[in-house]
Structure 1
Amino acid sequence: MAYKLAQVALVLSAFNRNSANIENLHLFTWSLQSRRTGQMVLSWWSGDRFASTVTQRSDPHLPVALNVGLIRGMVSISGANHNRVSLQPSGVLFAQNIAANEELMSAEKAYLGQFKKLSDAAVARRLARSS
C-alpha cells in the first residue's frame, strides 16, 4: 500500500494545486501500472492515437489507497460529488521527499515529467473528456 500511496502523491503533485478530479487520478495511476498502459496514455496525450477510446480507466487499488491516505491525513476529498482529491501538507511533503531522492520511483517521476504541469482542464482538452 505504501507504493500506491507514493503513486497517488506523485500523480497529485504533478497536477496544478496538487489536486485532481478522481477520474484523472484513476487514469494516471492506472497509466503507471505498466509500460504498455503508460505508452497508451502518452499516445492519447500526443494525439498519435484517437483519444475517444478513453472512456474511464480505473485503478482497482486506488480506493483502498485513498482510504489509507484519508486516515493518515495525506489527502482530502472534496467537491459536490466527492470527486476531487487533494494532497494535504503531509502528502505534499511525502511527494517532495520522493522527488528529492533520485533513486526513488525514478521511472514514475520521468514518466509523469513528460506531461509538464497537469490540470483537469488540460486532460479534458487533450483527451476529449468532460471534467
Structure 2
Amino acid sequence: MGGEQFSEESVGEARVTFRRQPRPIPADARVGYKIAQAALVLHAFNKNAASLENLHLFTWALANPRRRQMVLSWWYGHRYANTVTQRLDPYLPVALNIGILNGLVRINASTKSRVHLEPSGLLLAQEIEQNHGLFTAEKNFLRQFGRLSDASVSRNLARS
C-alpha cells in the first residue's frame, strides 16, 4: 500500500500522481477512546453526571501529563487571579453525539448543559475502572480529586 498509485492525471504541463500515505489518527481524536474517557470522567462525578463545561475541562486535561498537572495546580489554588480555567476538548462533541446514539450518555433535555451516564455507559466506566491496564494515568489523576461535583469544581476553580 505504501507506494500504491490511485490515479494519474495531466494538468497542463504538470503530471499529478496520488499515492496512499499512512496518516495515523491521534488517540485522543479516536471516537472510541474519547467515549471511554468521557465515561470515566462522568463516573468520577456525583450521580455519574457533570456539566458539559466540566466534562470538557476534565477530558481536555486527560490528554497529557502537562495538562493534568495544570488542572491539579488550579485545583489547589496555584494560579493567577485572572487565569481562565475553562477549556474545550475539540473531539468531545463528536464522541458525545455517538455516545448518545449508542445509549451510553444523555444530555439533560431542559438545560442541554448536563451530561449523564446511561446504564450502558456506567457499565463501560465500571469495566474500565476494574481493568488495571486501562487508562491508568487517567484513573490516578481523577482519584486525586475524590468524588467530584459541579459545585466542588466551581468552588476550587473559583468560578462564579
TM-score class, shorter-chain normalisation, is over 0.9
The match for 2:61 among 16, 26, 31 is 31
- Structure 2's unaligned 5+ residue stretches are 1-30
Deviations 1:73-101 (A, max 9, x none): 00000053300000000000000000000
Of stretches 58-67 and 79-88 in structure 1, the one that deviates more from structure 2 is 79-88
Alpha-carbon spacing, 1:74–1:109, altered in 2? closer, same or farther (3 Å)? same
- The answer for the alignment partner of 1:106 in structure 2 is 136
The match for 2:88 among 45, 50, 58 is 58
- The answer for the alignment partner of 2:159 in structure 1 is 129
The match for 2:97 among 67, 83, 91 is 67
- The answer for the alignment partner of 1:17 in structure 2 is 47
Give the 4+ runs in structure 1 shifted more than 4 A: none
**RMSD over aligned Cα, in angstroms?**
1.2
Give the letter for the 1:84 counterpart: R
Higher relative CO (Cα under 8 Å, sequence separation at least 6) belongs to 1
- Structure 1's unaligned 5+ residue stretches are none
Of stretches 34-43 and 79-88 in structure 1, the one that deviates more from structure 2 is 79-88
Deviations 1:93-129 (A, max 9, x none): 0000000000011111001111110000000000011
User: 2:127 aligns to what SS in structure 1?
Assistant: helix
- Structure 1 residue 55: Cα displacement: 4.4
User: 1:129 aligns to what SS in structure 2?
Assistant: coil
Give the letter for the 1:99 counterpart: E
Q: TM-score, normalised by structure 2?
A: 0.78
> Whole-Å Cα distance in 2 between the matches of residues 59 and 80 of structure 1?
23
- The answer for the alignment partner of 1:47 in structure 2 is 77
Structure with a larger share of its residues in strand: 2
Asked whether 1:97 is paired with 2:124, we answer: no
Q: TM-score, normalised by structure 1?
A: 0.95
- The answer for the alignment partner of 1:119 in structure 2 is 149
Identity, in percent, stands at 60
Which of structures 1 and 2 has the bigger CA Rg? 2
The match for 2:114 among 61, 77, 84 is 84
